[in-house]
Amino acid sequence: MPEKTPAPVRKAVIPVAGLGTRFLPATKATPKEMLPVVDKPAIQYVVEEAVAAGLSDVLMVTGRNKRPLEDHFDRVDGLESALKDKGDDAKLAAVQYASDLADIHYVRQGDPLGLGHAVLKGHQHVGHEPFAVLLGDDLIDESNPVLPRMIEVQERTGGCVVALMEVPHDTINLYGCAAVEQTGEDGVVRITGLVEKPDPADAPSNLAIIGRYVLAPEIFDVLRSTPPGRGNEIQLTDALETLAADPQSAGVYGVVLEGDRYDTGDKISYLKAVVQLAGRREDLAEELHTWLREYVAALDAPQVGGDAAR
Ligand code: UTP
């Protein structure tokens, strides 16, 4: 890997302007990133992940429903004074925590013309420095974060870095897929090509691209000249493919995620996130697990005239 003088990664861009059609009608008036996972909206986990990786300057690229997002990360006087009056210190602290978490900025995407277009909207705020992109509907298990290693690889190489996840071969057609070569470093690969949603028979690997990127600022110029691709949207994957194929660029690398990841824009993955994250909570785990065991036992039991699992 070529060594470069490191420019520190300081800023995170979180695109939250997608239409969320897979979750309609819940997402008709609310961004999907505001759907609750246990008792926090998905977006709060993502901002917490950015802050934990040292990125407390956050730009959200918002769409038509930006109000609930802004409100969530803002102070709410009436609510705070009501909790103060009731002496509910724990809830007051939880409410204030969200508004003190990060230095959050907002820019409008306008028309949702694709993830690449949303990232391009961050150019003015980011300037000419490397930055992270975290998809606001992708949750990554906090006990096994991938972002710190991605930042380290970006700062060392000056290239672009994507998070990869091994998936069963017959499901690779649901993801962007990376063709890779080894770097000699455990868990880090060099990306030689990217294929969007390939037929499993033609897939170059079982490594899927997931919603974390650490990008060199060169990506902005490439995005600007990237034509609309799949779904008539400007695809970040297409711009990364251009950089991967360009011998003059500092390259595109992949860091393979070890832990769990949930796509909260997908119904089944969302349900898994709620159950698994609640199961890790001291205040909820015991009761939830007891009920889950009973529920699964009832599902497995022979059904005698009606609904066994309630
Ligand atoms: P998705 O690919 O999940 O698309 O976006 P979507 O439109 O939001 O959802 P579905 O498929 O219709 O259900 C991945 C991420 O990129 C953001 C989304 O908000 C999400 O965090 N995004 C996507 C934008 O910000 N702008 C876009 O134009 C597209």
pLDDT digits (tens, 9 = 90+) for 36-84: 999 999 999 999 999 999 998 999 999 887 889 999 999 888 888 999 8
Mutate to test the pocket of ligand 1, among 135, 140, 266 (most ligand atoms within 8 A of CB): 135
Given the DSSP bridges, would you call strands 11-16 and 188-196 parallel, antiparallel or unpaired?
A: unpaired
pLDDT band at 32 (very low <50, low <70, confident <90, very high): very high
Q: Give me the residues paired with residue 252 across strands.
A: 160
122 lines ligand 1 (CB under 6 A): no
CA distances in angstroms from 103 to 50, 106, 151, 227, 310, listed in the order given: 11, 10, 19, 33, 44
For the cut 70, the answer to whether the pLDDT of residue 87 exceeds it is yes
Where do the domains of the chain lie, and which CATH numbers do they carry?
A: 11-295 (3.90.550.10)
pLDDT band at 7 (very low <50, low <70, confident <90, very high): confident
Residues 273-296 have a mean pLDDT of: 96
pLDDT digits (tens, 9 = 90+) for 91-102: 888 888 888 889
176 lines ligand 1 (CB under 6 A): no
Q: CA nearest 56: which of 96, 8, 12?
A: 12
Q: Angle at CA 102, nearest 5°, toward 98 and 107?
A: 105
Mean confidence (pLDDT) of the chain: 92
| Burial category of 186 from C-beta neighbours within 10 Å (exposed 0-12, middle 13-18, buried 19 and up) | exposed
Which of 3-7, 221-225, 238-242, 272-276 is the least confident region? 3-7
| Burial category of 50 from C-beta neighbours within 10 Å (exposed 0-12, middle 13-18, buried 19 and up) | buried
Ramachandran angles phi, psi of 136, nearest 5°:
-70, -10
pLDDT digits (tens, 9 = 90+) for 169-218: 999 999 999 999 999 999 999 999 998 889 999 999 999 999 999 999 99
- Structure confidence at residue 177 (pLDDT): 94
Ramachandran angles phi, psi of 22, nearest 5°:
-70, -15
Q: Which position has the higher pLDDT, 4 or 143?
A: 143
114 lines ligand 1 (CB under 6 A): yes
For the cut 60, the answer to whether the pLDDT of residue 222 exceeds it is yes
- Structure confidence at residue 305 (pLDDT): 58
The dihedral over CA atoms of 115, 116, 121, 122, expressed in degrees to the nearest 10, equals 90
Q: Quick check: 139 and 165 in contact, CB under 8 A?
A: no
Q: Give me the residues paired with residue 11 across strands.
A: 57, 131
Q: Which atom of ligand 1 is nearest to the CA of 138?
A: 21
Instruction: Give CA–CA dist 78/226, Å, rounded.
Output: 47
Q: CA nearest 174: which of 135, 137, 127, 206?
A: 206
- Structure confidence at residue 300 (pLDDT): 87
pLDDT band at 141 (very low <50, low <70, confident <90, very high): very high
251 lines ligand 1 (CB under 6 A): no
pLDDT band at 310 (very low <50, low <70, confident <90, very high): low
- Structure confidence at residue 223 (pLDDT): 97
Q: What percent of the chain has pLDDT over 70?
A: 96
- Structure confidence at residue 4 (pLDDT): 52
Q: Which atom of ligand 1 is nearest to the CA of 22?
A: 13
Q: Quick check: 72 and 106 in contact, CB under 8 A?
A: no
For the cut 80, the answer to whether the pLDDT of residue 267 exceeds it is yes
